[in-house]
Amino acid sequence: MLTLEPIDRDLLAGGFGPAAANAMRLLQRYGEVVGADRFISIRSAHIDGCLYHGPSSIDFVKRFADLGGQVRVPTTLNVAAVDVVHPGWHQGPPEIIDAQRELTALHEQVGCLATLTCAPYQRMNQPMLGEHIAWAESNAIVFANSVLGARTDRYGDFTDLCAAFTGRVPYAGLHRPENRLATLLVEVPAPSEFGLPRDLYFACLGYVLGRQSIGHVPAITNLAVANRDELKALGAAAASSGALALFHVVGITPEADTAIADPEALPCIKITAEDLRKALATLCPVQPGEPLAAVCLGTPHFSLSEFEHLSDMVRRQSEIAKIEVYVSTSREIEAMIRSDGRFAPLFDFGIEIVVDTCTYLAPVVRERQGAIATNSGKWAHYGPGNLRRRVGLMTLERCLRSATLGHVAPDDQR
């Protein structure tokens, strides 16, 4: 049974306005369903309902806006259904553009910050270790829990917005420390055993990890070094293939040392290099010489360090791209890229920066014929179903070579 604190009763009674009262009533029912015994306060929220899926997307937030609602904690927005900064790129139904503009404006009206990024953890104001938050978007959830050590359950449309209006969430799921303990040990091959570059290793490892640890909190062993972008790629792929919301990496992630109470008592699985190669074969069915329509990067949104690496790589290319090359990122990072002369090689090569959305969601690729290359396990997992296109997961280096050729480049690593 839910025990209400004075702040909860005040919210329900309308002490913070009718919008907050309405949101709290919905959260109370949600808390009863998930078996929570009380509510806790959060420090921030990240909203996924800002992505237009139909009239109900607008109807929900408009109800709160009409009631004069304002969010009570810093609240950011996930990606939109279309890049409204470059509406001419949109290849889908034109009416979505205006609908998305209205939906974003309504969220801004109630106090949300229009970051429109799936990677809010790349902003300066990041949640701290142990801090309770209410984040939606699968890759943001798994990154916040695993890499930052913040605490969020899997929130989605529209509990995320209710949490923002109240500043409260049920004390359940991954907010509770006992639910953050490892329940599965996962031995993984070292990147050298995989025999392929590190970007493919982390994408494929995440894809296999998600599928093999459904319902568990896995603790990965034998992974000595991984940077934030690599952990981002791993978590995004695992969240896509298996809805993973939290993983630990022994010796790397902040809670790993305390998450394994008794290693001998935990079940253990071993992911092999062959498992990763099979995953790559699934995610990259395209063949050398096959025509390409585009290269799509930035799922999750590219970080500043990823742009630095990409700029260095295109600088070494002797030719420019013959096909479209899109990189998705946030407005904030795009502004940094465009104001810094170090990144001029990106635009000389022919790269286009997409903001506010991800290209596996928003149809921006103009060429109808040919496959799409990506270096993202998440993109390769969702792209074929969402866009009805053939997709090939490749190294970033092979993506760029393919872009200069206009077709799938030979895989020199095999």
**Could you read off the pLDDT of 167-200 as tens digits, one per residue?**
999 999 999 999 999 999 999 998 888 888 999 9
For the segment 261-285, the average pLDDT, to the nearest whole number, is 94
Give pTM, 2 decimals.
Answer: 0.96
Q: What is the DSSP string of 287-313?
A: -TT-BEEEEEE-SSPPPHHHHHHHHHH
Asked if residue 294 lies in contact with residue 266, where contact means CB atoms within 8 angstroms, the answer is no
Alpha-carbon span 202 to 356, nearest angstrom: 25
Alpha-carbon span 194 to 382, nearest angstrom: 24
Residues β-bridged to residue 391: 372
**What's the Cα-to-Cα distance from 307 to each of 26, 44, 46, 81, 304, rounded to whole Å?**
41, 27, 24, 23, 5
Alpha-carbon span 353 to 346, nearest angstrom: 9
Alpha-carbon span 40 to 33, nearest angstrom: 16
Asked if residue 118 lies in contact with residue 137, where contact means CB atoms within 8 angstroms, the answer is yes
Confidence band for 413, pLDDT divided at 50, 70 and 90 = low
User: b vs e for 341-375, b when ≥16 Cβ sit within 10 Å of the residue's Cβ?
Assistant: eebebbeebbbbbbbbbbbbbbbbbeeeebbbbbb
Q: Provide the pLDDT for residue 89.
A: 82
Confidence band for 86, pLDDT divided at 50, 70 and 90 = confident
DSSP 3: B
Q: Provide the pLDDT for residue 19.
A: 98
**What's the Cα-to-Cα distance from 200 to each of 139, 299, 301, 361, rounded to whole Å?**
18, 14, 17, 22
Token pair in block for residue 291: 């025509």
DSSP 123: S
Confidence band for 91, pLDDT divided at 50, 70 and 90 = confident
Q: What is the DSSP string of 329-398?
A: E-HHHHHHHHT-GGGHHHHHHTEEEEESS-TTTS------SSEEEES-HHHHHHHHHHH---EEE--HHH
For the segment 272-287, the average pLDDT, to the nearest whole number, is 97
Alpha-carbon span 234 to 209, nearest angstrom: 9
**Secondary element (H or E) of residue 134:** strand 134-135
Alpha-carbon span 7 to 233, nearest angstrom: 39
Q: Which residue has the tokens 């206009």?
A: 406
Indicate if the pLDDT at residue 414 is higher than 80: no
**Secondary element (H or E) of residue 191:** helix 191-194
Alpha-carbon span 209 to 52, nearest angstrom: 30
Q: Provide the pLDDT for residue 125.
A: 85
> Domains in the chain, ordered, with CATH?
6-178 (3.30.499.10), 181-276 (no CATH), 284-405 (3.30.499.10)
Confidence band for 263, pLDDT divided at 50, 70 and 90 = confident
**Could you read off the pLDDT of 337-380 as tens digits, one per residue?**
999 999 999 999 999 999 999 999 988 998 889 999 999 999 99
Of 205, 203, 161, the C-alpha closest to 19 is 161
Output the CA torsion sign for 138, 141, 146, 152: negative
Asked if residue 50 lies in contact with residue 106, where contact means CB atoms within 8 angstroms, the answer is no
For the segment 65-88, the average pLDDT, to the nearest whole number, is 94
Q: What is the DSSP string of 206-220?
A: HHHHHHH-TTS-EEE
Q: How many residues does the chain have?
A: 414
Alpha-carbon span 49 to 158, nearest angstrom: 6
Instruction: Supply the Cα-derived Rg of the chain in whole angstroms.
Output: 22
Please give the residue that has the higher pLDDT: either 263 or 215. Answer: 215
SS3 at position 227: coil
**Could you read off the pLDDT of 382-406 as tens digits, one per residue?**
999 999 999 999 999 999 999 999 9
Indicate if the pLDDT at residue 259 is higher than 90: yes
The mean of the pLDDT values for the chain is 95
Q: Which residue has the tokens 């998930």?
A: 34
Alpha-carbon span 135 to 46, nearest angstrom: 4
Rounded to the nearest angstrom, the gap between the alpha carbon of residue 36 and the centroid of all alpha carbons in its chain is 27
**Could you read off the pLDDT of 1-29 as tens digits, one per residue?**
899 999 999 999 999 999 999 999 999 99
